[in-house]
Amino acid sequence: MTGTKVRTLEELYRDDPERADALVFGRRTGASRRGFLNGAGLAAMGAAVGGAIPFSANMPAGLVPAALAQPSASPSGNQGAPKGPQPLEFPGKDKGLVVLGDRPLVAETPEHLLDDETTPIAKFFIRNNGQIPEAAADADAWTITVDGEVNTTLALTLGELKRRFQPRTYRMVLECGGNGRSFFSPEARGNQWTNGGAGCAEWTGVPLSEVLKAAGLKDTAKYTGHYGADPHLSGDASKESISRGMPIAKAMEEHSLVVFAMNGEPLPNIHGGPVRLVIPGWPGSLSHKWLTRIWVRDREHDGQGMKGTSYRVPIKPMIPGGKADESNFRILESMPVRGIITAPANGARLPAGTREVRLRGAAWAGDLSVAKVDVSNDFGATWTAATLKPVKNRYDWHRWEAALPLPSDGYYELWVRATDSNGRMQPHVAGNWNPQGYGANPMHRVAVLVG
């Protein structure tokens, strides 16, 4: 019917949980959810999710079962994109990656493919802002310029960079600033990431601090501005695809690297090769790909992606879906704590009679560390502490393991929540809504069916 508004399941539950239950499961309007789940509604919900729900009494009102929650159909604003998740077809990449946008190319890694301690290149997410430049014919001849508020302007080839500075290798998380965007309601602008805009690779490069020291920072040096060889989507050479920067203090951290290798291999072109920045803990847009220039500035950088609401979050909460007051926004720096379940996969079926499920996953917390990870199989009524494995270095993710009992066959939701070293834990739902969808880090839920 012309003019009819089609709403997602999440929108139905957000706007009117009782009506959503009525439409989806036949719940009688006005009936309590507890009563609903003690009667025919429970049978209907069980049929929808595939089995009896042993912990149905603990199910929160208005909760969309994880088994029914679906990824967003198409990237926001990408009207020509095919509907539904589209598998990535790209040389050297796992076909399980999901395309979120094709112009520019953006693809995320489903959580179950993040089950490796070190994320393989084939499984690492893709995030571009402009066109993908041609691969360098001679990687070592690639030139990086450092200028601005420095005593000596540097123009270093990659070969000179490798010879002049001592390389280091760290395993560190790289995460898109919009990771988790799809969990906001109403929908925020941009690629609708779930938790797959992150990966943890072994990065080899030289500390950015050593390069800046070689140039000699002036007392007026306050901020960096980054530039790369990726052309603007329009092809207009006068336009930047993106140009972000950071305070000098972050640039001088020992783990902020000028990177030329990934997992022991030359940095692939799709991941910014032959040379890029990796600035761990902060939005991945700072980790400029195809790096050509670092401009040291005497003020906050104002390049593409630094103004308005780009990579900024509200200081005071705003009304979801409301008009943004740009004076109420600050630059997004350290990324929020996030924990994910990497095994079992969402939708897994376990044999009848299974009475324990073993879980694995990962957790990270921007500039902070992960203090603990807890898991639940009864909709959060009780929690069990997971075992954290040691990290290799700062900014590595914490791999974790846990086991939970399964009292009977049926449908279960496995929940995870991570807590950072400042005591802040993942919320039940995404908070601090903002128009560009940054900082959404709700608890990860995985549906499994036993029998």
**Looking at the predicted structure, is the pLDDT value of residue 377 above 80?**
yes
**Looking at the predicted structure, is the pLDDT value of residue 432 above 60?**
yes
Average pLDDT over residues 370-380: 98
What per-residue confidence (pLDDT) applies to 29?
Answer: 57
What per-residue confidence (pLDDT) applies to 132?
Answer: 98
C-beta of residue 437 within 8 angstroms of C-beta of residue 349: no
C-beta of residue 292 within 8 angstroms of C-beta of residue 143: yes
What per-residue confidence (pLDDT) applies to 45?
Answer: 83
**Looking at the predicted structure, is the pLDDT value of residue 373 above 50?**
yes
DSSP 84-122: S-EE---TTS-TT-EEEEETTEEEE--GGGG-SSS--GG
- Residue 170 belongs to what H/E stretch? strand 168-175
**Looking at the predicted structure, is the pLDDT value of residue 74 above 70?**
no
What per-residue confidence (pLDDT) applies to 64?
Answer: 85
Quick one: how far is CA 398 from the chain centroid?
A: 15
The rounded radius of gyration (Å) of the Cα atoms in the chain is 23
**Looking at the predicted structure, is the pLDDT value of residue 78 above 60?**
no
What per-residue confidence (pLDDT) applies to 178?
Answer: 98
What residue ranges do the domains of the chain occupy?
A: 9-58, 121-331, 338-450
Tokens 């360098």 correspond to: 136
Average pLDDT over residues 352-379: 98
Which amino acid belongs to residue 85? Answer: P
Instruction: Give the whole-angstrom CA distance, residue 275 versus residue 288.
Output: 9
Mean pLDDT of the chain: 92
Closest by alpha carbon to 257, among 166, 366, 140, 157?
166
First to last CA, the chain: 41
Pairing state of beta strands 291-297 and 143-148?
parallel
Phi, psi of 164 (to 5 degrees): -85, -30
C-beta of residue 218 within 8 angstroms of C-beta of residue 178: no
Average pLDDT over residues 440-450: 98
Which amino acid belongs to residue 145? Answer: T
**Looking at the predicted structure, is the pLDDT value of residue 282 above 90?**
yes
Average pLDDT over residues 436-442: 98
Quickly state the pLDDT bin for 5 (edges 50, 70, 90). low
What per-residue confidence (pLDDT) applies to 71?
Answer: 54
The two tokens of residue 176 are 């898109």
Q: How far is CA 128 from CA 3, 156, 194, 287, 353, in A?
A: 35, 25, 17, 11, 46
- Residue 215 belongs to what H/E stretch? helix 208-215
Q: Judging by beta carbons within 10 Å of its beta carbon (0-12, 13-18, 19+), is residue 214 exposed, middle or buried?
A: middle
CATH classification number, 338-450, choose in 1.10.150.130, 2.60.40.650, 1.20.120.1460, 3.40.640.10: 2.60.40.650
- pLDDT tens-digit readout, 45-58: 888 899 999 999 99
What per-residue confidence (pLDDT) applies to 77?
Answer: 41
Closest by alpha carbon to 56, among 24, 32, 33?
33
**Looking at the predicted structure, is the pLDDT value of residue 354 above 50?**
yes
What percentage of the chain reaches a pLDDT higher than 90? 83
DSSP 15: H
**Looking at the predicted structure, is the pLDDT value of residue 75 above 70?**
no
Q: How far is CA 84 from CA 10, 81, 107, 183, 433, in A?
A: 16, 9, 13, 16, 24
What per-residue confidence (pLDDT) applies to 155?
Answer: 98
C-beta of residue 417 within 8 angstroms of C-beta of residue 426: yes
What per-residue confidence (pLDDT) applies to 246?
Answer: 98
C-beta of residue 311 within 8 angstroms of C-beta of residue 285: yes
DSSP 330-378: EE--SPPPEEEEEESPTTEEE-TT--EEEEEEEEE-TTS-EEEEEEESS
Intrachain domains 121-331 and 338-450 with the same fold: no
In CATH terms, the fold of domain 121-331 is: Sulfite Oxidase; Chain A, domain 2 (3.90.420)
- pLDDT tens-digit readout, 289-307: 999 999 999 999 999 999 9
> Angle formed by the axes of helices 17-25 and 40-49, to 10°?
70
What per-residue confidence (pLDDT) applies to 80?
Answer: 43
Q: Bridge-partner residues for 106, per DSSP?
A: 101, 127
- pLDDT tens-digit readout, 138-189: 999 999 999 999 999 999 999 999 999 999 999 999 999 999 999 999 999 9
140 three-state secondary structure = helix
Average pLDDT over residues 311-318: 98
Alpha-carbon dihedral of residues 264, 284, 191, 430, nearest 10 degrees? Answer: 120
What per-residue confidence (pLDDT) applies to 164?
Answer: 98
173 three-state secondary structure = strand
Average pLDDT over residues 390-415: 98
Compare 63 and 154 and report the one with higher pLDDT: 154
Instruction: Give the whole-angstrom CA distance, residue 153 versus residue 205.
Output: 21
